[in-house]
Amino acid sequence: MANGISRRTLLKAGIGTAAAATAGAAALAGCGRTTAGSSEPLEFWNFYTPNPLRTPTSIAQGGWFDTFIADWNKKNKQQVKPIFIPNYTGTNKVQTSFAAGSGPDIFLMSPGDFLRYYNGGVLQDLTPYMTKEAIADFLPGALDTRTVDGHVYALPMEQEPLAIYYSEKVWEDAHLSEGDIPKTWDAMLELAAKLETKDRAGLVFEPGQGYFQNFTWYPWMWQGGADAVGGDGKSAFDTKGAIQALQLFQDGVVKGVSPRTNPAAGDLPAALDKGQAAMWQSGIWNVADFRLRLPKTRYGIFRLPTPSGGRYATIAGGWAFVANKNGRNPEAAAKFCVEAVGSMDPASVKRVADWCTVAKSDISPRKSALDLGTARGGYSTPIMKQFKDDIYPGTRGEPRYPPVIYKAISDAIQNTMLAGHKAADEAEIAGASIDAYLKSYEGAKIL
């Protein structure tokens, strides 16, 4: 993306090895800088501000953070200082800072990393600083992967469902209409083959190994009824649903319609604008980029197609505010998080609505902010309305898998998609790895 901070960029990097991931999580326990009452400002590590890039997207989104931080600092003795961290997860800087005993006081976290930090003893309980009304204001499922035993440890600022983007110009040049929107996997691949050319990808599945690739792959697995961990606490991965989802990504590459590297360096709006991709699986956050950077580009979206006998599913990820319970002033850090996006104060509700419909483009995780954003016209454009009314229903929250489980799945995707391994073999290997890990797993419930 032009602003350098797309969700794809932030989540595409993975962990080195399963063993290293486990050791890294364990090393977090007891780390931090407990200096309650310190006059030092709380460090808020993020990837939005102060952003040295001056693009329309970074100005809008960084400005949202700047405004709130300035407002907080005017009203509170305990000051907050934003620290811009480029390539936020790509360098593993946040987790290594905790391992070194110098983690940030406040930071942003996706559900995919929740268990790393919760099991590592890092996260401050935010529940005492919230009202029951505020907790109930979050939409069903929005807090599930951020809650343990009824206690909230992270407050989401957004929900980001996935869909298939397509170029209207490419569509028209191929004499296609809305009636040609594929409803099944087979139809999607057939259409991609028709639209693929020497200079244009027919359909882009994320090829880069990392959290983001897993994030985009999970809905295809769920559509077939598979999961990483079943209700019995054992792996549910070595099943038809996971095998066929692995096969889908491999088929895209083998058929030549899905590239091994992303067009336009992963910049979806630019790729559709320049005719470098016909269809691309990605999330709602791209709507803001089109609006702010390429408002004349014509594009559409449609639901993720389903396999034969499958059921529609997409995923609702999103970043959340969290506080370090071992930081300089955990209580102030928790209050900062709650005031930002988790209070019933009208300013907090408006702040979430502004983030999801003005600074960015997301589904609000809170009913009050969703209602406000809707009333103000934030979901009235055809694309945002479609995301809210058609794409979002049927979502499941991004799962919170421990690093070892994430890595087992990540390796299975890569080995199938790009190395040509048999999907059934990779599902069996990943399933066995997950089962072996679960036998000795101790920590919060895996969701």
| Distance, CA of 79 to CA of 316 (rounded, Å) | 32
Q: What share of the chain is helix, strand, coil (3-state, %, to 5)?
A: 45, 15, 40
| Distance, CA of 270 to CA of 196 (rounded, Å) | 17
User: Where does the pLDDT of residue 92 fall: very low under 50, low under 70, confident under 90, or very high at 90 and above?
Assistant: confident
Is residue 168 situated within a structural domain?
Answer: yes
| Distance, CA of 209 to CA of 93 (rounded, Å) | 18
Quick one: 307 and 363 in the same domain? no
- 5, with CB counted inside 10 A (0-12, 13-18, 19+), is buried
User: Where does the pLDDT of residue 12 fall: very low under 50, low under 70, confident under 90, or very high at 90 and above?
Assistant: very low
Crossing angle for the helix pair 423-438 and 240-254, to the nearest 10 degrees: 140
User: Where does the pLDDT of residue 2 fall: very low under 50, low under 70, confident under 90, or very high at 90 and above?
Assistant: very low
For residues 143 and 429, the answer to whether their CB atoms sit within 8 Å is no
For residues 169 and 275, the answer to whether their CB atoms sit within 8 Å is yes
Q: pLDDT tens digits for 419-439?
A: 999 999 999 999 999 999 999
Quick one: 302 and 324 in the same domain? no
Quick one: 96 and 183 in the same domain? no
| Distance, CA of 326 to CA of 124 (rounded, Å) | 8
Closest CA relative to residue 395, chosen from 303, 281, 321, 307: 303
Q: Is the pLDDT of residue 33 over 90?
A: no
User: Where does the pLDDT of residue 3 fall: very low under 50, low under 70, confident under 90, or very high at 90 and above?
Assistant: very low
How many Cβ atoms from other residues are within 10 Å of residue 378's Cβ? 22
User: Where does the pLDDT of residue 4 fall: very low under 50, low under 70, confident under 90, or very high at 90 and above?
Assistant: very low
HSE (side-chain half, CA atoms, 13 Å) at 125: 6
Quick one: 420 and 294 in the same domain? yes
Q: Which domain holds residue 383?
A: 7-159+317-397
Closest CA relative to residue 215, chosen from 360, 318, 114, 93: 318
Is residue 2 situated within a structural domain?
Answer: no
Quick one: 24 and 13 in the same domain? yes
- The pLDDT value recorded for residue 38 is 58
Mean pLDDT for the chain overall: 92
- The pLDDT value recorded for residue 28 is 59
User: Where does the pLDDT of residue 5 fall: very low under 50, low under 70, confident under 90, or very high at 90 and above?
Assistant: very low
For residues 222 and 313, the answer to whether their CB atoms sit within 8 Å is yes
Residue 272 amino acid letter:
L
- The pLDDT value recorded for residue 303 is 98
Tally of structural domains, the chain: 2
Is residue 190 situated within a structural domain?
Answer: yes
Is residue 443 situated within a structural domain?
Answer: no
Quick one: 96 and 143 in the same domain? yes
Quick one: 434 and 365 in the same domain? no
Residues in the chain: 447
Q: Note the helical H segments in 76-184.
A: 93-99, 114-119, 132-137, 168-173
Q: Is the pLDDT of residue 30 over 60?
A: no
Average the pLDDT over 372-397 and give the result.
Answer: 97
**HEC letters along 364-427:** CCEHHHHHHHHHCCCCCCHHHHHHHHHHCCCEEECCCCCHHHHHHHHHHHHHHHCCCCCHHHHH
Average the pLDDT over 36-42 and give the result.
Answer: 75
| Distance, CA of 417 to CA of 410 (rounded, Å) | 11
Q: pLDDT tens digits for 246-268?
A: 999 999 999 999 999 999 999 99
CA dihedral sign of residues 358, 359, 363, 364 = negative
Residue 401 amino acid letter:
Y
Q: Is the pLDDT of residue 288 over 80?
A: yes
Quick one: 236 and 94 in the same domain? no
| Distance, CA of 417 to CA of 175 (rounded, Å) | 31
Is residue 326 situated within a structural domain?
Answer: yes
Crossing angle for the helix pair 240-254 and 403-417, to the nearest 10 degrees: 40
Quick one: 144 and 25 in the same domain? yes
**CATH number of domain containing 375:** 3.40.190.10
Quick one: 268 and 417 in the same domain? yes
How many Cβ atoms from other residues are within 10 Å of residue 133's Cβ? 10
| The residue to which tokens 């020497």 are assigned | 198
Q: What is the pTM of this model?
A: 0.92
Is residue 447 situated within a structural domain?
Answer: no
**CB within 8 A of 181, min separation 6: which ones?**
302
The torsion angles phi and psi of 262, rounded to 5 degrees, stand at -70, 135
3-state class (DSSP) for residue 254: helix
Strands 314-317 and 395-397: parallel
Q: pLDDT tens digits for 318-370?
A: 999 999 999 999 999 999 999 999 999 999 999 999 999 999 999 999 999 99
Is residue 71 situated within a structural domain?
Answer: yes
Task: Outline where DSSP puts E strands in 91-217.
Answer: 106-109, 147-148, 151-152, 155-156, 160-167
Quick one: 106 and 50 in the same domain? yes
Quick one: 206 and 128 in the same domain? no
Is residue 349 situated within a structural domain?
Answer: yes
What is the share, in percent, of the chain residues with pLDDT greater than 90?
86
- The pLDDT value recorded for residue 87 is 79
